Chain A
Amino acid sequence: MNAPIIQQQSVGSSTVPSVRVKSQYWKRAFPYYFMILPGLLYLLIFRYAPMFGLFIAFKKYSPFQGVWGSEWVGFDHFVRLFTESDFLLLLKNTLILNLLDVLVAFPFPILIAVLLNEVGRKYWKNSIQTIMYAPHFLSWVVIVGITMLLFRTQDGGINALLGSLGLNRIELMTDPHYFRFVWLFHNIWQGAGWGAIIYLASIASIDPALYEAARVDGASRLRQILHITLPSLKTIILIMLILRLGNFIDVGFEHVFLLQNPLNLEVSDVFETYIYRQGLVQGDFSYVTAVGLFKSVVGLVMVVSANAIAKRFGEEGVY
């Protein structure tokens, strides 16, 4: 499904307008540069300037001495991070959450797309899609808020129901045992339907003749999925997986932060919330910049190696 666009691009480049005369090139190209400029300025100021700002990870930044005046401390902050007792906890929590997400939440959209493709009736398909996409438009504040309302000890809908049935009420938000489950469930609830779009579009581009031939040969629906649909989705699944692996050290600040409370810190504390707490709340700017740099480098290494591995196996990769 990448093919058409790439083809069209190459068609475009084969009919390059005659730009041999320099002044003519600039006259024609000027509007394009002009349009690129605001976006380029944005990248330089808000994306690349902060990357240069990363050198404060090697300094002892103080607001009074400024970025330039602060003294250099080499790798002190990194040594502190790796020897900090919290480090292993942060790493463990981050890895467990990501592992759960990749193993359970990642396949969900694929499953939904494949099953949705089996739904023949247009009306059903459309209704299911409309409802399944909706949570994507709700913020984490709203989703966490709904969960808290439903599980209020006394009058929350689900706990009131459990109570009236004579069952134990669930302290969903304060009992640390539930944290990972709630987090994972939210991810699926919010993202699985929306995530299916990309796979649905991919399925739509499969040549119907393949299914036709399989039916003639007497292949069951399940076999058609196993031997036609899933193999056709292999490339896009791999691309999505590579992109996902690039985020393996990220958990998504807002969601975890909103679910976090002093009671579940032991399972909910991750690098992002740690950076927020130590940095913006406690003001230890240099140290958390070092933590952030560590996180960014790990992310970069993950995505580059996942991409390289994909290419080694003869797949396209992301870039």
Chain B
Amino acid sequence: MKQLSMGDRLFTFFAYTFLVLFTALILLPLLYIIITSFAPAKDYLTRGFFLIPSHWTLDAYQYLLHNPGFVQSFKNSIFITVIGTFINITVTSMMAYGLSESWIKGRSAVNFMILFTMLFSGGLVPTYLVVDSLHLIDTFWALWLPAAVAPFNVIVMRSFFASLPYELKESSRIDGCGEWRMFAKIILPLAKPAIATFTLFYMVGNWNTYFSAVIYLNDDSKWPLQVFLRQMLVINDERVGLLNEALYTYTPSARMAAILVSALPLLVIYPFLQKHFNKGMLVGSVKG
């Protein structure tokens, strides 16, 4: 028995070590980016490897804020995210609620249609042709509409609505409450945590949207932040310019700052919503 408890202690030690190492692996690059974004540009040229800037400066941030391309794409991203998320969450939660009542006729056909889109899709070009034929190219609608609903989210939300106690709805019906009022006054308040969680998920998707912007938006004044960032970070183009502005040169600090500014909105919001993810609301959902 004593041997076992020794083993247990070793095991717990291993668990902690593994998790702390993994956490450090995530945290260290992010910390490095944050700290060095406050370094003056000359540090990179003269000092080689460094952790602490020779002096702390906001140069990189000021530089970004005076770059019309960065500012424009940041604004675009906010606009795309706010409207897009509103469309996502409205259509998704309405559809999920509509399908949550088992006595609705035709419900299983629609459920099957949702499931099937998760297994099979028309693919890139046919979708592009549909978007093109609706004249959505080069408008934000091309980002919003083709991604209006994530089928998986409808399935999860539907099980959430279906799991609300039926007696609640029944008793309000007996009290003469109409279906609409019941939805607004009883269901929605109960669904707040679920709606908050899915709002966050959709927000992440909208804020990080990249590929659809690349294929549907040719007009660079409409570019979201991610596309701008790619030009700046990944293509390694030292001089990215938008809107025919004068060409900009990005120092490493400016690149770090751009990463931080683009990641900040989500990283700030998510800890507030974190408590909802763990409740298992998302689980039990894989099955319709």
Contacts and interface: CB of A to CB of B under 8 A. Distances in A.
Contacts of B99: 32, 36
A42 B125 contact: no
A25 B29 CA distance: 59
A12 B161 CA distance: 11
Contact of B27 (A116, A131, A220, A319): A131
A87 interface: no
Chain B contact-residue range equals 35 or more
A73 interface: no
A263 to B, nearest CB: 13
Interface string B131-159: 10010000000000110110100100001
B248 interface: no
Contacts of B179: 28, 30-32
Contact of A222 (B7, B90, B94): B7
B23 A132 contact: yes
A17 B234 contact: no
A157 B48 CA distance: 8
B36 interface: yes
B130 A43 contact: no
Interface in A165-209: 189, 192-193, 197-198, 200-202, 204-205
A318 interface: yes
Given A1-B280, A13-B103, A193-B26, A46 B123 contact: no
B121 A43 contact: no
Given A40-B95, A46-B145, A160-B48, A258 B119 contact: no
Interface in A224-275: 236, 239, 243, 246, 253-254, 257-258, 272, 275
Contact of A292 (B20, B101, B123, B230): B123
Contacts of B44: 155
A6 B122 CA distance: 31
A144 B232 CA distance: 12
Given A2-B287, A36-B95, A221-B12, A134 B267 contact: yes
B120 A145 contact: no
Given A48-B113, A130-B274, A189 B25 contact: yes
Given A53-B129, A132-B26, A42 B149 contact: yes
B278 A200 contact: yes
A107 B210 CA distance: 28
Contacts of A136: 204
B243 interface: no
A205 B148 contact: no
Contact of A296 (B110, B121, B233, B284): B121
Contacts of B232: 145
A276 B234 CA distance: 18
Nearest to B200: A137
A35 interface: yes
Interface stretch (B58-66, B78-86, B188-196, B251-259): B251-259
A9 B230 CA distance: 46
A208 B73 CA distance: 51
Contacts of B263: 137-138, 142
A127 B105 CA distance: 47
Interface string B5-19: 001100110111011
B51 to A, nearest CB: 9
Contacts of A288: 124-125
A148 interface: yes
B122 A49 contact: yes
B126 A4 contact: no
Size class of A's contact patch?
Answer: 35 or more
A28 B104 CA distance: 10
A223 to B, nearest CB: 9
A311 to B, nearest CB: 13
A33 B26 contact: no
A40 B121 CA distance: 16
B130 A53 contact: yes
A17 B104 contact: no
Given A145-B259, A161-B49, A197-B282, A318 B287 contact: yes
Contacts of B280: 1, 201, 204-205
A300 interface: yes
B163 A141 contact: no
A149 interface: yes
A200 B19 CA distance: 14
B56 interface: no
Q: Which 9 A-B pairs have the closest CB atoms?
A: A50-B122, A292-B123, A39-B95, A145-B233, A53-B126, A139-B208, A35-B98, A36-B98, A50-B126
Given A133-B270, A155-B44, A221-B12, 5 more contacts: A31-B98, A141-B229, A205-B280, A220-B7, A318-B287
Interface of A: 1-2, 4-6, 8-9, 11-13, 15-17, 19, 25, 28-36, 38-40, 42-43, 45-54, 56, 67, 111-112, 115-116, 118-119, 124, 127-142, 144-146, 148-150, 152, 155, 157, 160-161, 163-164, 189, 192-193, 197-198, 200-202, 204-205, 218, 220-222, 236, 239, 243, 246, 253-254, 257-258, 272, 275-276, 279-280, 285, 288-289, 292-293, 295-297, 299-300, 303-304, 316, 318-319
9 contacts: A34-B98, A39-B98, A134-B270, A138-B266, A142-B262, A145-B232, A150-B32, A160-B50, A222-B8
